[in-house]
Amino acid sequence: MEVITRDRPAFANVQVKMQAGDKIIAESDAMASMSTSIVMNTRWNGGFVGAVLRKLFGGETLFVNEFVASEDSELIITQPFPGDIECMDLNGTSLFLQPGAYLASEPGVKMGVSWAGFASWIGGEGLFRLKVSGTGKVWFGAYGGIFVKEITGPYVVDTGHLVAYEPTIQMKVGMAGGLFSSFFSKEGLVSRVSGPGRIYLQSRSIDGLATWTNRHLWR
C-alpha cells in the first residue's frame, strides 16, 4: 500500500494506492472517489460500546468504513474542511486526537476513548478524548496548516488550535493572562501543556471561522 498526501496544505487529500488484500479504515463520509475493485464495509467504530462512548464523549462518528482492495486499486480520502493532513506512524505508541481530527488508519491501529479530565472540559474540549494506539499509520486533519512542535518544558496553546498530542504531554487549562486581559483580549482560556513530547497545532480553528462568519451573517 502506497499513500500520498497531495494538494497540501490548502486542500490536502490522501491518495491510497492499494494492492489485492490491502485494507484501510476511514472516517465516515471520508471517501471522495475509488476504483470499483474496492469493497466498502461499514462497522461500529471499535465495537458497539466503544462506538457509543466515542460518539458521546469523543465527538467522533458512530461508524467507520473499512475499504478492502481485490486487485490494484486507488482510493481518495478527504476531510470536510480545507486544510492540511498529517500522518503518524504508531509503533506500539499512542496519540491523543481532538474531536473531528481523525481521518484514517491502518488495520493495526486501535481507537479508544480515554478520560481527558475536567481541565479539558472547562477548556471546551470535552471530558473524554480519542486515543489511537497500536501499530501502523494514522492520518489526521486540521482546518488550516499543521505545525508540529517538540516541547520539553511548559508551553501555552489556544485550546481551539490543538489537533493532537502525545500521551507524555500534561495539560492544564488556565487563563491567558490576568482576569481582565484574559477576558478582554479574547484569548480567554488557554491550555498550558508541558512536555517532553510532541504537539500538533492547526493554524486556524473552525470555531474561529464560525464566529467570524456569524458576525457577517444577516446584517
Partner 1 sequence: MQYEILARPASSVVKVSMNQGEHLTCEVGAMVAMSTRMTVETTTQKKGASGGGIMKGLKRLFAGESLFINHFTAQSDGQYIILGPTMMGDVVHHRLDNATLIVQGGSWLASDPDIEIDASFQGLGKAFFSGEGAFWVKCSGSGDLFMNSFGAIYPVEVDGDYIVDTGHIVAFEDTLNFNVQKAGASWIGSFLGGEGLVCRFQGKGIVYCQSHNPSSFGSSLGPSLKPRQS
Binding site for partner 1 (CB under 8 A): 6-7, 10-11, 13, 28-29, 31-36, 38-43, 61-65, 76, 78-82, 100, 206-207, 209-210, 213-214, 217-218
C-alpha cell at 85: 493532513
Is the CB of 40 or the CB of 156 nearer to partner 1?
Answer: 40
Is the CB of 180 or the CB of 218 nearer to partner 1?
Answer: 218
Nearest approach in angstroms of CB 150 to partner 1 is: 28
Is the CB of 65 or the CB of 133 nearer to partner 1?
Answer: 65
Tell me the C-alpha distance between 136 and 170, whole Å.
24
**Shortest CA distance to 198 belongs to which of 166, 176, 167?**
166
Nearest approach in angstroms of CB 214 to partner 1 is: 5
Is the CB of 117 or the CB of 126 nearer to partner 1?
Answer: 126
Tell me the C-alpha distance between 213 and 71, whole Å.
45
* 27-62 core/surface letters (b: 16 or more CB in 10 A; e: else): beebbeebeeebeeeeeebbeeebbebbbebbbbbe
Instruction: Show the CA angle centred on residue 169, arms to residues 4 and 102, nearest 5°.
Output: 35
Nearest approach in angstroms of CB 143 to partner 1 is: 9
Is the CB of 2 or the CB of 89 nearer to partner 1?
Answer: 2
Nearest approach in angstroms of CB 80 to partner 1 is: 4
Nearest approach in angstroms of CB 189 to partner 1 is: 18
Nearest approach in angstroms of CB 195 to partner 1 is: 31
**Sign (positive or negative) of CA dihedral 151, 113, 63, 122:** negative
Q: Classify 139 as helix, strand or coil.
A: strand
C-alpha cell at 31: 471517501
Is the CB of 51 or the CB of 90 nearer to partner 1?
Answer: 51
